[in-house]
């Protein structure tokens, strides 16, 4: 593949997926500036390996996997631990929402930010990216059982943080 054609394909891919990658990155890290950094690092990694990426069956899945792995690697680094402690000051994350229920959106994002990184990643991949358990396991490089347990723990923590109780079906009366 000629370099000019390769660059054109890459540019088209990034232009069409940048907003989506940024939104996923934000949901993972809850900070728009860090999300931009994560996307930039992901895009750089994709560019370096574009010949392999463009030949992949699912380029979106490949990009999402690189993004999640970049996020998780950052969380394990001293920088990631420092920024996580720094965010512990009680300040709410930035909110760029023009949705109908801003309070609920901020509450959910705050609760999501309180989850450990792997739980947050599984919840985002399963419920925002709408991936199956198997696809999430592939994206995170772990077993399906790990995805199930991380998702279960993440959802339970979100329920506690949001003070939601599972719906209890109303008792039926016999006529």
Query: What CATH number did the domain enclosing 142 receive?
Result: 1.20.140.160
Dump the DSSP string for 43-69: HHHHHHTHHHHHTSS-HHHHHHHHHHH
In a domain, 170, yes or no: no
pLDDT category of residue 83 using cuts at 50, 70 and 90: low
In a domain, 107, yes or no: yes
pLDDT category of residue 92 using cuts at 50, 70 and 90: very low
In a domain, 8, yes or no: yes
What pLDDT is recorded for position 110?
87
pLDDT category of residue 162 using cuts at 50, 70 and 90: confident
In a domain, 155, yes or no: yes
Q: pLDDT at residue 95 above 70? A: no
How many domains would you assign to the chain? Answer: 1
What pLDDT is recorded for position 84?
54
In a domain, 114, yes or no: yes
Work out the burial of residue 78: count CB atoms within 10 Å of its CB; fewer than 13 is exposed, 13-18 middle, 19 or more buried. exposed
pLDDT category of residue 75 using cuts at 50, 70 and 90: confident
Dump the DSSP string for 130-161: ---HHHHHHHHTS-HHHHHHHHHHHHHHHHHH
**Domain extent for 156:** 3-162
In a domain, 116, yes or no: yes
In a domain, 133, yes or no: yes
pLDDT category of residue 134 using cuts at 50, 70 and 90: very high
Tokens of 84: 């996580």
């Amino acid at each position: 593949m000629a370099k000019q054609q390769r660059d054109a394909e890459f540019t088209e891919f990034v232009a069409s997926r940048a907003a989506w990658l940024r939104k996923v990155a934000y949901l993972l890290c809850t900070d728009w500036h860090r999300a931009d950094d994560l996307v930039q690092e992901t895009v750089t990694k994709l560019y370096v390996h574009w010949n392999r990426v463009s030949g992949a069956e699912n380029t979106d899945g490949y990009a999402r996997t690189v993004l999640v792995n970049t996020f998780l690697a950052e969380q394990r680094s001293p920088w990631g631990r420092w920024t996580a402690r720094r965010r512990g000051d009680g300040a709410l994350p930035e909110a760029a929402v023009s949705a109908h229920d801003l309070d609920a959106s901020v509450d959910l994002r705050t609760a999501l930010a309180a989850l450990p990184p792997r739980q947050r990643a599984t919840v985002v991949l399963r419920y925002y990216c709408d991936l199956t358990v198997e696809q999430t396991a592939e994206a995170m490089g772990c077993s399906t059982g790990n995805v199930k347990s991380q998702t279960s723990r993440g959802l339970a923590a979100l329920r506690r943080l949001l003070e939601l109780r599972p719906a209890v079906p109303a008792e039926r009366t016999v006529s």
